[in-house]
């Protein structure tokens, strides 16, 4: 499918002018953004395993290809303006994205960028426990710290993943931007219609 990322554009100019902001961005939407980041030249192919042993394709950033200090600062400043109540807990990086953070590793030294996380639930590694609309109210059955959350967009598919932090907050990586603690609907992932909450089987 063509890349049809539909998310808020908050960068007003410079090196990201005209690009869809953050969201598993140029990569990370299962159907809508299944192409490589940019032309893919910054990455090499790799993979990780689900708890049940299924192989999930990932990309690993080549040395010297991460964001510059000025690019990190621009991301941080623009996100702070657009989402003032979201708390940044780690700096922007191209090394890992939302799906990899949620499903593979919550370490900030995670070095995998994951395109498609679906095998984590289709192979039985995780079990669906609750669903909700795209609102800040989490379902009672989903308010368990450590549960995984998938954001579904009717055109772009599974375009974001997060981890439950508390009964009101999630933690997720915003594309190449930082790692944030935020309310479920306080994010750039506009157009989401369903949030699905998963527990490790």
pLDDT computed for residue 37 by the predictor? 62
**Within-domain flag for 96:** yes
**Within-domain flag for 133:** yes
pLDDT computed for residue 156 by the predictor? 86
**Within-domain flag for 105:** yes
Query: Residue 96's domain spans which residues?
Result: 21-200
pLDDT computed for residue 160 by the predictor? 94
Number of structural domains the chain divides into = 1
| pLDDT tens-place values along the chain, 201 residues long | 333 333 343 322 223 333 344 443 333 322 233 345 666 789 999 999 999 999 999 999 999 999 999 999 999 999 999 999 999 999 999 999 999 999 999 999 999 999 899 999 999 999 999 999 999 999 999 999 999 999 999 988 999 999 999 999 999 999 999 999 999 999 999 899 999 999 999
**Within-domain flag for 165:** yes
Pair 179, 88: CB distance under 8 Å:
yes
pLDDT computed for residue 129 by the predictor? 98
Taking the model in full, what pTM does it have? Answer: 0.85
**Within-domain flag for 183:** yes
Torsion of CA 120, 126, 127, 129, to 10 degrees: -100
pLDDT computed for residue 1 by the predictor? 30
> How far apart are alpha carbons 26 and 6 in whole angstroms?
11
> Residue-wise over 66-100: b if at least 16 C-beta within 10 A, else e?
ebeeebbebbeebbeebbeebebeeebbbbbbbbb
Structure tokens at 137: 């109210």
**Within-domain flag for 14:** no
**Within-domain flag for 38:** yes
**Within-domain flag for 6:** no
- Count the alpha carbons within 13 Å of 105 in the hemisphere toward its beta carbon: 14
Query: For strand 87-90 and strand 194-200, is the pairing parallel, antiparallel, or unpaired?
Result: unpaired
């Amino acid at each position: 499918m063509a890349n049809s990322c539909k998310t808020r554009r908050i960068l007003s100019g410079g090196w990201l002018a005209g690009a869809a902001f953050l969201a598993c961005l140029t990569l990370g939407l299962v159907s809508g953004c299944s192409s490589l980041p940019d032309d893919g030249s910054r990455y090499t192919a790799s993979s990780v395993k689900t708890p049940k042993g299924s192989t999930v394709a990932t990309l690993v950033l080549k040395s010297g290809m991460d964001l510059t200090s000025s690019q990190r600062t621009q991301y941080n400043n623009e996100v702070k303006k657009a989402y003032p109540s979201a708390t940044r807990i780690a700096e922007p990086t191209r090394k890992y994205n939302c799906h990899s953070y949620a499903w593979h590793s919550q370490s900030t030294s995670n070095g995998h960028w994951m395109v498609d996380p679906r095998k984590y639930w289709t192979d039985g590694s995780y079990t669906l426990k609750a669903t909700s609309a795209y609102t800040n109210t989490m379902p009672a059955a989903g308010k368990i710290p450590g549960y995984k959350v998938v954001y579904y967009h009717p055109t772009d598919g599974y375009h974001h993943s997060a981890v439950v932090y508390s009964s009101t907050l999630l933690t997720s990586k915003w594309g190449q931007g930082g790692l944030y603690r935020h309310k479920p609907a306080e994010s750039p992932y506009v157009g989401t219609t369903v949030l699905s909450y998963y527990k490790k089987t």
